[in-house]
Amino acid sequence: MSPEVFLSVAHYTHSVAPHQRRVTVVASGVLQLSDFKKLMESPRQDPAFDETFDILYDFTAVSNIAVSPLQAYQLARMDFDAPKGLRVVAAPKDVVYGVCRAISAYLPAEDAARFFIFRSLPEALQHLATPAPRPNAEALHI
């Protein structure tokens, strides 16, 4: 059985909203390993980027992610000076959602705690709008 061949027809853009402390990356088409590298690096080249900003990956128009299991592991283990904020993915298509979940399974624990995948853009935006839970102050003084 021959492997599937995908044309690299991915498109992606990013925008930085300092007032929201958020970067939004919108992608479409078929993402391959090289596309992931570029879409992860491009916001970091933006002068308005701050590593503490949350990053929203809007994959609602991504039709497929063509990476092997080894490439999924490599993506999860890439060191891009990982952002300190949340990384949230909106991935409504089953195949895109599944590959994103596979990638998340390989993330180091400290990165996995800040990485969330949702089936819809409204769910992802709702998560970003929800204040982060804070530890109970009383519990810290045990």
User: Structural domain boundaries of the chain?
Assistant: 11-141
Q: Given this model, what pLDDT does residue 38 score?
A: 86
Give the pLDDT confidence of 89-119 residue by residue, as tens digits.
999 999 999 999 999 999 888 888 889 999 9
Q: In the prediction, which pLDDT does 65 show?
A: 92
Residue among 58, 124, 126, 115 nearest 83 (CA): 115
Q: What is the pLDDT of residue 4?
A: 46
Q: How far is CA 82 from the centre of its chain?
A: 11
Segments of the chain with pLDDT less than 50: 1-7, 134-142
Please report the pLDDT score of residue 99 as a whole number.
93
pLDDT at 135: 38
Give me the phi and psi of 13, to 5 degrees please.
-140, 165
Say what the pLDDT of residue 132 is.
63
Tell me the C-alpha distance between 102 and 98, whole Å. 6
pLDDT for the residue numbered 110 = 84
The rounded distance, in Å, linking the Cα atoms of 45 and 138 is 42
- Pick among 2.60.40.10, 3.30.420.40, 3.90.230.10, 3.30.750.24: CATH of 11-141: 3.30.750.24
Largest CA distance in the chain: 61
